[in-house]
């Protein structure tokens, strides 16, 4: 792995790095995962995570069968129990909550309603739907875990990318994710001092490596090698770290995706602060998804991990140096020509004046003001629109 250029960044005397999280964007995706994951979905290393998802895949099999040949069985003695028997397989399969919903959707039945019915009655409805299913074929994912579970039911052209394949791609650049490479579970921001400490013990509470029976989600940072991209108004370095998160669902609950970015800090609740240069790619689980993952997503992750931050730093410097407004009239006109209302333009200018100590003059000033105003927008679509316009402005300057 090539060395990343570190531009005169020094640890703060308190053991971390002084950062300015008032700049850039706040991203809550990782925090949402952190809040929602129960203890048994949290892993403290990539090897622990890999053992879980790979073991699950090793106990699984996938088949494509005629939908009309699937037999739905329900017990009169247990109104809650419903099983499926596939052709050529004598053992009944117990559908998970997720796969039951998939099965109902495939045959056009309302899953929420079926779940309210006694199992025998729900089974009759499902059996009718399977027998008259127009697509004729379904693809199953079955896992032996004490009993044989039906984890997924999809169309025959579903292109499965297993969760362990994504974890393996991350391991190739991040090792165990605990500090044996430059990529690791993040540290934490001390709000009282504004110092980001990258060296925090990895526990179930602090980890950012997650997996459930439906998906996998990983977030790692390169926070021991800060990047300086200019100076703050007080003359101190404006420090960034590289980060990425990725996700997948081998049962069809979501696409596969990878997001890469630069950020200034991660707080205790795993919100990302001061995010810049956010890029995302997604791959749908279509027929050739596995091939696309091998040729697109995995190499993109490796390129980001091995890349120099020189282009990002150069873009920030170019944006700082490109002066586009020198008067109040210039500032308002610049923003109005880019689709902002008069009130929005005034708010952006005021924010830059308050946070930077001077009215906006450079492209970088305007980008910081737009993203700061975006953070206060209560509606996501409006916030994303502001952030997209800020990124477009920055990209043109770079």
**pLDDT value of position 308:** 64
The neighbouring-strand residues paired with 83 are: 73
CA dihedral 384, 388, 389, 393 (to 10 degrees): 150
As given in the structure block, the two tokens for residue 252 are 């069809």
**pLDDT value of position 12:** 53
Whole-angstrom distance, CA of residue 246 vs CA of residue 360:
35
Count of C-beta atoms within a 10 Å radius of residue 396? 11
- Rounded to 10°, the helix 363-375/310-321 angle is 100
H runs (alpha helix) in the chain = 29-36, 46-58, 97-106, 111-116, 119-131, 163-174, 289-292, 298-306, 310-321, 328-336, 342-356, 363-375, 380-397
- DSSP 8-state secondary structure symbol assigned to residue 250: T
How far apart, in Å, do the first and last CA atoms of the chain sit?
A: 26
Q: What is the 3-state secondary structure (H, E, C) of 4-31?
A: CCCCCCCCCCCCCEECCCCCCEEECHHH
Residue 74: how many CA atoms within 13 Å on its side-chain side?
15
Tell me how long the chain is: 398
Sign of dihedral through CA atoms 328, 331, 337, 341?
Answer: negative
345: left (phi over 0), alpha (psi -120 to 50) or beta: alpha
As given in the structure block, the two tokens for residue 19 are 């950062």
Find out whether 19 and 189 touch, Cβ atoms under 8 Å: yes
Find out whether 348 and 359 touch, Cβ atoms under 8 Å: no
As given in the structure block, the two tokens for residue 304 are 């980001």
**pLDDT value of position 372:** 78
Whole-angstrom distance, CA of residue 397 vs CA of residue 318:
6
* Per-residue confidence band for 106, with pLDDT thresholds at 50, 70 and 90: confident
The alpha carbon of residue 38 and the mean position of all alpha carbons in its chain are separated, in whole angstroms, by 18
- Of 50 and 9, which is predicted with more confidence? 50
> Among 159, 110, 313, 107, which Cα is nearest to 229's?
313
Is the overall model pTM greater than 0.85, yes or no?
A: no
Find out whether 53 and 165 touch, Cβ atoms under 8 Å: no
* Per-residue confidence band for 7, with pLDDT thresholds at 50, 70 and 90: very low
Among 32-41, 98-107, 160-169, 363-372, where is mean pLDDT lowest? Answer: 363-372
- What are the φ and ψ backbone dihedral angles of 251, each rounded to 5 degrees? -105, 5
pLDDT tens sequence across 192-220: 888 999 999 999 999 999 999 999 999 99
Burial call 17-51: b when 16+ CB within 10 Å, e when fewer: bbbbbbbbbbbeebbebbeebeeebbbbbbebbbe
As given in the structure block, the two tokens for residue 72 are 């739905």
Count of C-beta atoms within a 10 Å radius of residue 115? 15
pLDDT tens sequence across 295-339: 677 777 777 777 765 665 566 667 677 888 888 888 888 888 888
Question: Is the pLDDT assigned to residue 132 strictly greater than 50?
Answer: yes
**pLDDT value of position 13:** 43
**pLDDT value of position 175:** 92
């Amino acid at each position: 792995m090539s060395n990343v250029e570190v531009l005169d960044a020094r640890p703060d005397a308190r053991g971390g790095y002084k950062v300015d999280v008032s700049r850039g964007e706040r991203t809550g995706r990782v925090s949402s995962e952190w809040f929602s994951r129960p203890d048994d979905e949290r892993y403290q290393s990539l090897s622990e995570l890999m053992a879980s998802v790979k073991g699950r895949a090793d106990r699984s099999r996938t088949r494509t069968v005629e939908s009309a040949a699937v037999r739905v069985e329900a017990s009169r003695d247990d109104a809650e129990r419903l099983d499926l028997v596939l052709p050529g397989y004598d053992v009944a399969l117990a559908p998970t909550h997720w796969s039951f919903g998939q099965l109902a959707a495939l045959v056009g039945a309302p899953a929420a309603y079926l779940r309210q019915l006694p199992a025998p009655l729900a089974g009759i409805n499902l059996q009718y739907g399977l027998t008259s299913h127009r697509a004729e074929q379904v693809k199953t994912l079955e896992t032996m875990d004490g009993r044989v579970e039906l984890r997924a039911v999809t169309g025959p052209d579903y292109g499965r990318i297993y969760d362990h394949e994504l974890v393996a791609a991350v391991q190739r650049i991040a090792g165990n994710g605990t500090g044996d490479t430059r990529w690791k579970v993040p540290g934490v921001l001390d709000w009282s001092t504004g110092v980001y400490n990258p060296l925090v013990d990895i526990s179930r509470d602090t980890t950012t490596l997650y997996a459930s029976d439906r998906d996998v989600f990983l977030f790692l940072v390169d926070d021991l090698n800060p990047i300086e991209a200019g100076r703050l108004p007080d003359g101190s370095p404006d420090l960034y770290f590289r980060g990425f998160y990725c996700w997948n669902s081998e049962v069809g609950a979501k696409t596969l995706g990878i997001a890469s970015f630069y950020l200034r800090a991660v707080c205790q609740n795993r919100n990302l602060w001061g995010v810049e240069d956010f890029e995302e790619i997604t791959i749908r689980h279509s027929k050739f998804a596995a091939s696309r993952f091998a040729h697109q997503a995995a190499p993109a992750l490796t390129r980001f991990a091995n890349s120099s931050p020189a282009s990002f730093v150069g873009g920030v410097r170019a944006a700082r140096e490109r002066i586009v407004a020198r008067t109040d009239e210039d500032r308002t006109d610049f923003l109005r020509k880019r689709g902002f209302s008069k009130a929005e333009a005034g708010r952006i200018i005021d924010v830059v004046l308050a946070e930077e100590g001077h009215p906006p003059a450079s492209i970088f000033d305007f980008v910081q003001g737009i993203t700061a105003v975006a953070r206060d927008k209560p509606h996501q679509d409006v916030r994303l629109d502001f952030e997209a316009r800020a990124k477009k402005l920055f990209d043109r300057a770079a």
